[in-house]
Amino acid sequence: MANGSHGSRQAAWEFFGAELKRRREDAGLTQVELGARVFVSGAYIGQFEQAIRKPQLDIAQRIDEVLQTDGIFERLWRKLIKDQPYREYFAHVVELERLATEICEYAPTVVPGLLQTREYARAVFLANNPLASEEHIEELIKGRLDRARLLKDAARPLYWVILHETVLRIPVGGPEVMARQLDHIATLMRERVAVLQVVPFSAGAHPEMGKLMKLMEFDDAPPTVYTEAVLSGRLLDEPTVVKRSRSSYDLLRAAALSLEASLALIESAAKDYERCASTT
């Protein structure tokens, strides 16, 4: 997945560069002449044309002004080049979530993105990006909340989630944030938006220990399984791999608490966080 996403990004840069070169030559300008008019060096323009350097929005806008291209380079930037709120290896997974008829997830340490509240998501992103600008953090949060909208759709997929109890006990964002996050999950369970079970600490060893897993099924395409590691992800549709992953998920279901007991545990944990927040 990462290689495919990188290839798509590189192709976008190359298309931008080829179009820039064609338009510049049609205007009878050298790289140096165009660079002077948009306040960069000629070498900088050459790097855009060779797809070595990522174009910036303000430069794309100035190129449009100089070459009188009616905003084409700004549109190319916004459509093809602008940073997405998802990591490269995850962008295709987001597309498939929208098409899935069934999504089954196992989360060993963190609340899945589709279930996260704004405050919880913010705490997760800040932990991963402690020096990021507020604008970047907000863009990431927006991307995550946009994904979650599919659960509000009338044609939403069947969504089954298994959490390890660890997810409930790590105080991401502090007691108040965790209380609201767990209340949110409980509400989705009661409203039958999501089917959710918890694997308790008492279950001991269990399938897929410490491994995130997302199974997706579709009306007109083979099922897939997505797994994730450090700064990488794998989206697989090989039938034997998907079948084995489905078997592991079934074993996780067997190790987890019932729906009623899972809801009770989540509500109890939420109340513990509420009491903790009220004393701080």
C-alpha separations of 27 from 13, 63, 73, 151, 169 in Å: 21, 12, 15, 50, 63
Query: What is the fold of 88-278?
Result: Endonuclease; Chain A (3.30.870)
C-alpha separations of 147 from 11, 192, 251 in Å: 26, 18, 28
pLDDT given for residue 51 in this prediction: 84
CB 124 within 8 A of CB 110: yes
| φ and ψ at residue 123, rounded to 5 degrees | -65, -40
Residue with tokens 């897939």: 224
More confident residue, 95 or 15: 15
pLDDT given for residue 83 in this prediction: 60
Among 60-69, 92-101, 141-150, 254-263, whose mean pLDDT is lowest? 92-101
Q: What tokens were used for 86?
A: 């998802």
* pLDDT one-digit tens code per residue, 197-256: 999 999 999 988 888 999 999 987 889 999 987 767 888 889 999 999 999 999 999 999
CB 40 within 8 A of CB 59: yes
C-alpha separations of 137 from 126, 129, 151, 171 in Å: 7, 8, 23, 20
Q: Which residues contact 131 (CB under 8 A, 6 or more apart)?
A: none
Is the pLDDT at 7 greater than 70, yes or no? no
Euclidean distance between CA atoms 41 and 47, whole angstroms = 10
pLDDT given for residue 85 in this prediction: 64
pLDDT given for residue 279 in this prediction: 84
Is the pLDDT at 181 greater than 80, yes or no? yes
Euclidean distance between CA atoms 170 and 112, whole angstroms = 14
Euclidean distance between CA atoms 118 and 1, whole angstroms = 27
| Side chain identity at residue 120, one-letter code | Y
Burial letters 91-100, b for 16+ CB under 10 A, else e: bbbbebbeeb
Whether the CA torsion 40, 43, 45, 51 is positive or negative: it is: negative
Cα–chain center distance at 255: 28
pLDDT given for residue 84 in this prediction: 61
Q: Which residues contact 109 (CB under 8 A, 6 or more apart)?
A: 164, 166, 167, 170, 210
| Residue ranges of the chain that CATH labels 1.10.260.40 | 2-81
CA dihedral 78, 80, 85, 88 (to 10 degrees): -170
- Mean pLDDT for all residues in the chain: 89
pTM for the whole structure: 0.71
| φ and ψ at residue 92, rounded to 5 degrees | -70, -30
Using 50, 70 and 90 to split pLDDT, how confident is the model at 3? Answer: very low
Q: What tokens were used for 111?
A: 């609340």
- Please state the length of the chain: 280
Query: What is the fold of 2-81?
Result: 434 Repressor (Amino-terminal Domain) (1.10.260)
| Residue ranges of the chain that CATH labels 3.30.870 | 88-278
